[in-house]
Amino acid sequence: MAILGVESAIFGVDDLELCTRFWTDFGLTPLSRTDDESVFEVASGSKIVVRRRGDPRSPATYAGKVGMQETIWGVDTQEAFDALVADLSRDREISFDADGAAHFFCDDGMPIGLKVWNKRQVVSQPDPVNAPGNIQRLNLHRKWRRRCLPKTINHVVFFVHDYVASLEFFIERLGFRYTDHSRGAGVFARADGTHEHHSIFFVSTALPVAPDDPGFMHIAFGLEDIDELMLGVNQMQQKGWTNTSQNSSGGLSRHRISSAIYYYFDNPNGGEAEYHVDTDYLDDNWVPRVWDWKFGSLLWATKTPSFWEGEVAWDMQFDADRRSLEPFRRPGGVGDKNGNLPDKLDTLTEEDEHAI
C-alpha cells in the first residue's frame, strides 16, 4: 500500500478574502470560490482548501486556532485505502464524506484523512548548471520565467508533544518511513509512495521557542529550481508579503539535513508557507541518520541566525535501528528522565525557531 503524499491541506481562517489572495499571489491555480471556501491546486493535483474558521466540515481539534485544520493524505489504490481504513477502524472512529475520504484522529489528537488519489505526474526540466571545466549549457541561455508556479506539496510540519510517539503512529499504522532525526528537536518521515526526503516533520513542543500546545507550523511547496524560487520571492515581496522571521529562517538558506534550498513567508492562513527546491530524494535503500540540530539545520544562509555564528561542529551518525529516539521516548518528548532539555538546546532564542 502506498500513501502518495498530501492530497489536500485544509485551512481554517478568519479573513477568507486576505487568505485567498495570499495563495493566488503565491502562484497556486484557483479551482473554485464561494462565500465560505476557496480551493486551489498545484501541478501534481494537491489542493489547498481555505474555509472560514469554525466551518462544520472541518474537525474540532485544532479548529480553535487559525492554521491547517486537517491534512488529507492521498492513497494510490482503492485496495490500499480499504486496508488502511480496516486497520484503523480497530481502535478509532472513522467518518466518511461524500467524496469518499475517510477522516479520523491520530493517537496524538492530530486530525487527518485518507482519500484515493490519482496523483498527476509532474515533469520538470531545470536548466543544466555550468561550472568551470564542466559545461552543460553551451550557446544556450537559462530559461526566462514570468512567475513562480509551485508543482507539489512536499511536506507539512506540526508541533507535537511527543514526536517519537507521533512518528511511530505514522510508521506502524500508515506505512511511513523514518528518514532523519534532529536530535531533541524533531523527526522526519516520508510517505511510502513518494521520494521526497520527508512528507511530514514533527517538532517538539518542549523546545523553548515552541508553543505549549500542538498545532500547525508550516507547509512546503516544491519548485523546479532556485531561479523559480527567487522569482517567487521577488514577486511576493512586490505584492506586500513579508518574512518577519528572516533572521530565524536564515532568509534564503539551504538545509544540510535534507539538502533543500528554502524560503519562508508569513502566512495569513496560519504558520508559514515555504518555497522548496532541490531536496534529497529517497527510496527504501536510504539509511536514516541522527543529527545535532545546529549542524543539520543549515549549510549556508543569506541571513545568519544567532545560533549559527562561529564554528558548528560536524555531528551526524547513521541510525537505522532508531536507537537515537530512545532518550526521547517518554511523555513530554524531549529531555532526560526528569524532563530536562539537553544543554545544546537550552540556548535557543526566538530568533532560532524556524532554522530547526
Per-residue pLDDT of the chain (356 residues; tens, 9 = 90+): 699 999 999 999 999 999 999 999 999 999 999 999 999 999 999 999 999 998 999 887 776 788 999 999 999 999 999 999 999 999 999 999 999 999 999 999 999 999 999 999 999 999 999 999 999 999 999 999 999 999 999 999 999 999 999 999 999 999 999 999 999 999 999 999 999 999 999 999 988 778 889 999 999 999 999 999 999 999 999 999 988 764 456 689 999 999 999 999 999 999 999 999 999 999 999 999 999 988 999 999 888 777 777 788 899 999 999 999 988 765 554 444 333 444 444 444 444 444 55
Amino acid found at 30:
P
Which residue from 113, 13, 109 is spatially nearest to 55, judged by alpha carbons?
13
**Residue listed under C-alpha cell 503565491:** 26
- pLDDT value at position 245? 62
Termini Cα distance of the chain: 31
Grid coordinates in use for 265?
513567508
Cα separation, 193 vs 199, whole angstroms: 10
Tally of CA atoms within 13 A in the half-sphere of 84 that contains its CB: 29
- Note the CATH number of domain 3-120+148-355: 3.10.180.10
Amino acid found at 322:
R
Cα separation, 253 vs 202, whole angstroms: 20
Residues in the chain: 356
Please give the helix or strand (H or E) that residue 318 lies within, else none: strand 316-318
Beta strands in 14-137 (DSSP E): 29-33, 37-41, 47-52, 67-75, 95-96, 102-105, 111-116
> How do 111-116 and 67-75 pair as beta strands?
parallel
Which residue from 77, 82, 71, 27 is spatially nearest to 49, judged by alpha carbons?
71
Cα separation, 261 vs 182, whole angstroms: 18
Cα separation, 132 vs 113, whole angstroms: 49
Please give the helix or strand (H or E) that residue 26 lies within, else none: helix 16-26
- pLDDT value at position 22? 98
